[in-house]
Chain A
Amino acid sequence: MSKPILLVDDEPAMLDRLQRILARLGYPDTDLRLAASVAEGKAWACGSDDFDMALVDLGLPDGSGIELVGWLRERDAALPILVISAWSTEEMILGALRAGASGYVLKERDDLEISLSLRNVACGGAPIDPFIARRILALVNTGSAMQGRDAQGEPLQEALTRRETEILDSVALGMSNREIAEKLSISRPTVETHVQNIYRKLAVNSRTQALHAARQHGLLQ
Chain B
Amino acid sequence: MSIALRLCAWLILLAPMPALAALPGWAGSIEAARADWNSTAPPEHGWVEVGSLPDDWSERWPGYDGVVWYRLHWNQQAPLDAIALYLEYLTFAGEIRVNGALLARDDQLVEPLSRMWNVPRYWRLPPPLIQAGENEVLVRVSGFAQYTPGLGPMRVGDAETLWQTFESEQWLRRGINQVALAVSLTIGFFFLVVWLMRREEVAYGWYAVGRFVWLPVAWNTLATSPWPFDSTEAWQNLTALVVPLSIGCWSMFVLRFCDRRWPKREVVLWSLLVLAAIWIVLAPHDGKLAARNLANALSFVVVLAVDVAFLWFAFRGGRPDQKFLALTSASIIVAGVHDILGVAGVIEDTTNWGTMTGLIGMISAAFVLAWNFVDKQRRIEGFNVELKREVAQAQEELAATLNRQHELEVMHARLGERVSLAHDLHDGLGGMLIGNIAALEQGPEQVPSRKMLDALRELRDDLRLIIDTAAAQHYGETSLGELLAPLRHRMTRLFEAYDIDLRWQADHLDEVYLTNTQSLDLLRIAQEALTNVLKHANARRVEVELRNTPQALTLEIRDDGEGMPTTPLEPGTGMRSMQARARRLAATLSIASLDQGSLVRLHRPWPDRA
Contacts and interface: CB of A to CB of B under 8 A. Distances in A.
Contacts of B504: 174-175, 179
Given A131-B471, A134-B477, 19 more contacts: A90-B471, A112-B497, A113-B490, A116-B497, A129-B486, A130-B485, A130-B486, A131-B486, A134-B475, A138-B475, A173-B488, A173-B507, A174-B484, A174-B489, A174-B504, A175-B489, A176-B489, A176-B496, A179-B492
Interface of B: 457, 460, 463-464, 467-468, 471-472, 475, 477, 481-482, 484-490, 492-494, 496-497, 504, 506-507
Contact of A174 (B460, B471, B486): B486
Contacts of A175: 488-489, 492, 504
A191 interface: no
A198 B477 CA distance: 22
A11 interface: no
Contacts of A130: 485-486, 488-489
A176 B477 contact: no
A171 interface: yes
Contacts of B486: 129-131, 174
A128 B16 CA distance: 124
A172 interface: yes
B492 A174 contact: yes
A129 B464 CA distance: 14
A173 B472 CA distance: 12
B466 to A, nearest CB: 11
A173 B475 contact: no
A108 B471 CA distance: 15
Instruction: List the 3 shortest-distance A-B pairs measured between CB atoms, nearest first.
Output: A174-B488, A174-B485, A130-B485
Given A87-B467, A134-B477, A176 B494 contact: no
Q: Looking at chain A's contact residues, is the secondary structure mostly helix, strand, loop, or mixed?
A: helix
A172 B468 CA distance: 13
Given A129-B486, A130-B486, A179-B504, A173 B493 contact: no
A215 interface: no
Nearest to A120: B493
A112 B494 contact: yes
B500 to A, nearest CB: 12
Given A130-B486, A131-B486, A134-B477, A176 B464 contact: no
B131 to A, nearest CB: 120
A175 B495 CA distance: 13
Contacts of B464: 108
A220 B338 CA distance: 96
Contacts of B467: 87, 108
A113 B477 contact: no
Contacts of A171: 489
A108 B492 contact: no
A68 to B, nearest CB: 25
A173 B485 contact: yes
B114 to A, nearest CB: 101
Contacts of B471: 87, 90, 131
Interface of A: 87, 90, 108, 110, 112-113, 116, 129-131, 134, 138, 149-150, 171-176, 178-179
A219 to B, nearest CB: 17
Given A87-B467, A90-B471, A178 B496 contact: yes
A6 B467 CA distance: 29
A178 B493 CA distance: 9
B88 to A, nearest CB: 100
A129 B467 CA distance: 15
A113 B493 contact: yes
A176 B485 CA distance: 10
A193 to B, nearest CB: 19
A150 B496 CA distance: 31
Given A134-B477, A176-B493, A108 B488 contact: no
22 contacts: A108-B460, A108-B463, A108-B464, A110-B457, A110-B494, A112-B494, A113-B490, A113-B494, A116-B493, A130-B485, A131-B468, A131-B472, A134-B475, A149-B475, A173-B507, A174-B485, A174-B487, A174-B506, A175-B489, A175-B492, A176-B496, A179-B492
Q: Which of A87, A113, A173 has the most CB of B within 10 A?
A: A173
Contacts of B484: 174
A129 B481 CA distance: 15
Q: Which of A108, A134, A174 has the most CB of B within 10 A?
A: A174
Contacts of A87: 467, 471
Q: Which of A108, A116, A130, A178 has the most CB of B within 10 A?
A: A130
Nearest to A138: B475
A134 B496 CA distance: 23
B469 to A, nearest CB: 12
A198 B488 CA distance: 22
Nearest to B488: A174
B492 A176 contact: yes
A77 B457 CA distance: 37
Given A176-B493, A179-B504, A150 B475 contact: yes
A175 B467 CA distance: 20
Contacts of B463: 108
A150 B474 CA distance: 11
Contacts of A174: 484-489, 492, 504, 506
A211 B467 CA distance: 29
A165 B488 CA distance: 20
Contacts of B468: 131
B484 to A, nearest CB: 6
Nearest to A176: B492
A133 B464 CA distance: 18
B489 A129 contact: yes
Contacts of B475: 134, 138, 149-150
Nearest to B510: A173
Nearest to B468: A131
A98 B307 CA distance: 93
A73 B457 CA distance: 35
B190 to A, nearest CB: 67
A173 B481 contact: yes
Contacts of B492: 174-176, 178-179
Nearest to B477: A134
Contacts of A172: 485
B357 to A, nearest CB: 80
Nearest to A171: B489
A134 B457 CA distance: 27
A108 B464 CA distance: 8
A116 B490 CA distance: 11
A139 to B, nearest CB: 12
Contacts of B485: 130, 172-174
Q: Which of B490, B492, B493, B494 has the most CB of A within 10 A?
A: B493
A135 B179 CA distance: 93
A129 B490 CA distance: 9
A173 B477 CA distance: 12
Contacts of A150: 475
A87 B457 CA distance: 17
Contacts of A138: 475
A150 B477 CA distance: 12
